[in-house]
Amino acid sequence: MAVGTRILSVEDDERIRTAVKLALEDEGWSVEEADTGEEALNSFQRQPADVVLIDIMLPGIDGFDVCRAIRRASDVPIVMVTARADTHDVVAGLEAGADDYLTKPFAPKELSARIRALLRRARATDATATHLRFGELEIIPDEGVVRRGGEEIHLTKTEFRLLVELASSPGRVFSREVLLERVWGYGYFGDGRLVDVHVRRLRTKVEADPANPRHVVTVRGLGYKLQA
């Protein structure tokens, strides 16, 4: 499935960049390289990649800025590479628009698995659920379209899959573990902050008042649910 899928790898360390390219190519991806943030943005402008891999610690324009710039132009899946899992870098990167993260050093096979999960299409739940409605919110999974009050809202692929997952059982509470597994392909040990930050991002787009969400609701200690 991955043949022809282009990954833009942004990394300033040449040896790492080369080794990662070799390993990813072995996995069947085609890899485009960039060693600075500027070059990454130029490359993306010339020909948008299908997935972007960004090292947060870049000289010049840093990884967060690259992430934000690409996110403004595209809903392409972005995986960021951070030094540590327990720093604020993770949350900052996710808020800048990244879909997932890995910590250095990672195994390229793990990266491939992450990319495959992000490239999955939103599941059309069943035949009757092709058109879902929650108050002024309207979701059409097969077309990848979300409207609020008739006006189309732009979601990233991951935000969209999260919304469709919640919409598959309206009113049901999804734990963070379940969402991590269904949306990101993680098991129990995924990072719950992925869910929290994506829910936050989703609210800013689908809620009239993101601070007092009506549709994407937190159920304390249990998880999240979608309601009309």
Partner 1 sequence: MRRFLPRLGLRARITIAFAVGALFMSAVLAGATIGLTRRNLLDQRESAATAQTYANAQNVRNQLESDVTDPLGVVSSLVTPTGSNPVLLLEGTWYPLNAEFSGDSLPPDLSELVQSGQPARMRFRYNDETELAVGVPLESVNGAYFEIVSLDELESTLESISISLLAAALITTLAGAALGWWAARRVLRPLVGIREAAHSLATGRLDTRVEASADADLAPLADSFNDMAAALEERIQRDARFASNVSHELRSPLMTLSASIEVLENQRDDMSDRAKAALDLMVADIDRFRQLVEDLLEISRFDAGVMHLDLEEVHLAELIMQAVSTSTDADVPVDIDADLAGVVVKADKRRLVRVIANLLDNAAKYGDGATRVQLRKDGDNVLIAVEDNGPGVPDEDRESIFYRFNRGSLAGRRLDVDGVGLGLALVAEHVRLHGGSVWVEDRADGGKGSRFVIELPAEAP
Which positions lie near partner 1, rule CB under 8 A?
13, 15-16, 19-20, 22-23, 26, 83-86, 104-109, 187-189, 191-193, 221
Strand partners, 219: 223
Nearer to partner 1, 28 or 60 (CB): 28
User: SS3 for 59-110, per residue?
Assistant: CCCCHHHHHHHHHHHCCCCEEEEECCCCCHHHHHHHHCCCCEEEECCCCHHH
Q: Which stretches does DSSP call E strand in 107-180?
A: 132-134, 137-140, 145-148, 151-153
In whole angstroms, the minimum distance from the beta carbon of 43 to partner 1 comes to 21
CB closer to partner 1, 45 vs 188: 188
Of 185 and 192, nearer to partner 1 (C-beta) is 192
Output the smallest distance, CB 22 to partner 1, in A. 5
Tell me whether residue 23 or residue 92 sits nearer to partner 1 (CB atom): 23
- Find where tokens 């020909």 sit: 47
Nearest approach in angstroms of CB 7 to partner 1 is: 13
Give CA–CA dist 188/78, Å, rounded. Answer: 22
Rounded least distance, CB 221 to partner 1, Å: 5
Rounded Cα gap, residues 19 and 65, in angstroms:
25
